[in-house]
Structure 1
Amino acid sequence: MFEFIILPSEEQAQYVWEKGTFLMSRQLGRYNISLYHVDGFYAEIWYNKLDNTIYAITPFKDTSRLEPYLAEIELC
């Protein structure tokens, strides 16, 4: 994950889109947050809908950070 963190943000986004597996997205205010699994870690891409830009890319391994997504999962 360290190699990912030191990449410029444009390269981080490209890496996630090319090598990651999209899991789901959620809305938080003006942000659309997309969750990906990439090479043994997770990455969130925070997209600002108002100005059509990527606000942040946050990689993490701690599964407690997946909590906001649990409400979106429907179990049958």
Structure 2
Amino acid sequence: MFTLYDFNALSEQEKAEAVWRGSFLADREAAGLKVQLYRLDSFYVEVFYDPAANTILRFRAFTSNNLLVPYL
């Protein structure tokens, strides 16, 4: 099983590839960015994307259900 710790140890490119193999759940906007939520095995990953620059800025992986509140 792929874990949160495994994910955090990946390079940015490897994280992007792993996320695309996950399940897309939802998206939202925050401070002009698109934030997409994915489910991978036993954790979630947020992808922070800047549409103006057409680039991924960062990934945030977590297990806490509290961080899902912005998507409800």
Unaligned runs of 5+ in 2: none
**TM-score scaled to structure 2, two decimals?**
0.91
Matches within 5 A, 1:1-76: 1-18=4-21, 20-70=22-72
- Secondary structure at the residue paired with 2:52? coil
Length-normalised TM-score, structure 1: 0.86
Percent same amino acid among aligned pairs? 36
**1:12 maps to amino acid:** K
How far residue 29 of structure 1 moved from its aligned partner, in angstroms, is: 2.3
Q: Considering only aligned residues, what root-mean-square deviation do their CA atoms show, in Å? A: 0.7
Q: State the Cα deviation string for residues 40-60 of structure 1 (Å, max 9, x = none).
A: 100000001121110111000
**1:8-41 Cα deviation digits (max 9, x unpaired):** 01110110102x1000100112210000110110
User: In structure 1, how many angstroms separate the alpha carbons of the residues matched to 2:31 and 2:63?
Assistant: 24
- Point out which structure has higher relative CO (alpha carbons under 8 A, 6+ apart): 2
